[in-house]
Amino acid sequence: MIELDRLSRRYGVHVAVAELSLTVADGELLVLLGGSGCGKTTTLKMVNRLVEPTSGRVRIDGEDVSALPPHELRRRIGYAFQRVGLFPHMTVAENVAVTPSLLGWDARRIARRVDDLLEMVELDPGLVRDRRPDELSGGQQQRVGVARALAAEPRLMLLDEPFGALDPLTRDRVQQSFRRIREQLGLTAIFVTHDMSEALLLGDRIAVMDAGHLLQVGTPRELLTAPAHDVVRQMVETPRRQAAAVDALLAPSGGDGGAR
């Protein structure tokens, strides 16, 4: 269980995150949703101390994270970066193996783990293992990023728009496989995105943020049926409006016009 307790982060006079409190239950995926600059990434980074809070606490299973050396804390938490962040001078296998090797796993266990993870994210270990990240497509790189985050068998994962750079088809497939993996492993996760559809599809609950403040937390159904705020209403309506617009294109000519 992750508890964020009145967490704030200020940069000078600018308040990035203001008095934010949230709880993520074991095995739950919580989506942090909001536009750019709303403070969602800052909130995520305060969980593994890539950003130190100005005030407030983060507790994992009741333990205050500020009591641990940051590198030890981070080795226990999988982290998938917004900009993927694969190390260009390492092979795919070395990238995936980085945290296990920091933890001192033996070589055989690491090799087995790398192959398992690559298969799990639907990459052929024999093909990609010894490649450099820049030889892979954007979608493959993001899958390697997720595999790296999972490598040290964390029970907790932080994901910062991990599928942001993917084309819609690939993104859909990777989302499906991520969902499957998470359910298999029973991971607790915080997932940052600005994409409402992604939030609705993946999240057990969604926390909507705006200008550093938490506007509403609830299940997708709760947000759709009872938005507590105008901003939330506009956000949740976007995918439905888009879907309606697509339907409208098809309706009048029964599909004939689409062929032109």
Partner 1 sequence: MPELLQLLPSYLAAHVQLVLAALALAISISLPLGIAAARAPRLGRAVLAVAALVQTIPGLALLAVMVPVLAAIGLRSIGFLPALIGLTLYGLLPILRNTVTGLIGVDPAMVEAARGVGMTERQKLARVELPLAMPVIVAGIRTATVWTVGMATLSTPVGAPSLGNLIFSGLQTRNYASVLLGSAAAALLALLLDGLVHGIELGLARRHRGPVVASLGGLALLAVAALVPALGAAFRAGERPVVIGAKTFTEQYVLSELLALWVGRSTGLPTEIRASLGSTVAYDALASGDVDVYVDYSGTLWATILERPAPPPDRATALAEIARFVRERHGIELVCNLGFENAYALAMRSRDADRLEIRRVGDLAAHAPSMSIGGDYEFFARPEWRAVRDTYGIRFATERSMDSSLMYQAAAAGDVDVISAFSTDGRIAGLDLRVLEDDRGAIPPYDAIVLASARLAREQPGVIAALRRLAGRIDAPTMRAANFAVDEHGRAPAAVAQDMLPALAGAATDAPAP
Q: Which residues form the interface with partner 1 (CB under 8 A)? A: 48, 50, 70-76, 79, 81, 83, 85-89, 98-99, 102-103, 148, 152
Query: The tokens 């994962």 sit on which residue?
Result: 157
Per DSSP bridges, beta strands 63-64 and 55-60 are antiparallel
The nearer residue to partner 1, 148 or 205, going by C-beta atoms, is 148
Q: In terms of CB distance, is 39 or 227 closer to partner 1? A: 39
Q: Which is nearer to partner 1, 61 or 130 (CB)?
A: 130
Please identify, using beta-carbon distances, which residue of 189 and 232 lies nearer to partner 1. Answer: 189
Shortest approach of partner 1 to residue 111 CB, angstroms?
18
Show Cβ contacts of residue 54 under 8 Å, excluding neighbours closer than 6 positions.
Answer: 8, 9, 10
Q: Are 66 and 73 in contact (CB under 8 A)?
A: no
Closer residue to partner 1 in complex, CB, 75/171: 75
**Distance, CA of 252 to CA of 157 (rounded, Å):** 46
Task: Return left, alpha or beta for 59; rule: phi > 0 is left, psi -120 to 50 is alpha, else beta.
Answer: beta
Q: How far is the CB of 2 from partner 1 (least distance, A)?
A: 17
Give alpha helix (H) positions in the chain: 40-47, 70-76, 92-96, 98-102, 107-120, 125-128, 138-150, 168-185, 196-202, 220-225, 230-250
Contact 30, 204 (CB under 8 A): yes
- Taking the complex as a whole, the smallest distance from the CB of residue 12 to partner 1 amounts, in Å, to 19
Of 24 and 44, nearer to partner 1 (C-beta) is 44
Rounded to the nearest whole angstrom, what is the least distance from the CB of residue 71 to partner 1 in the complex?
Answer: 5
3-state secondary structure of 138: helix
Q: Give min distance, CB of 99 to partner 1, in A.
A: 5
Asked if residue 133 lies in contact with residue 92, where contact means CB atoms within 8 angstroms, the answer is yes
Shorter beta-carbon distance to partner 1: residue 151 or 202: 151
Shortest approach of partner 1 to residue 123 CB, angstroms?
Answer: 19
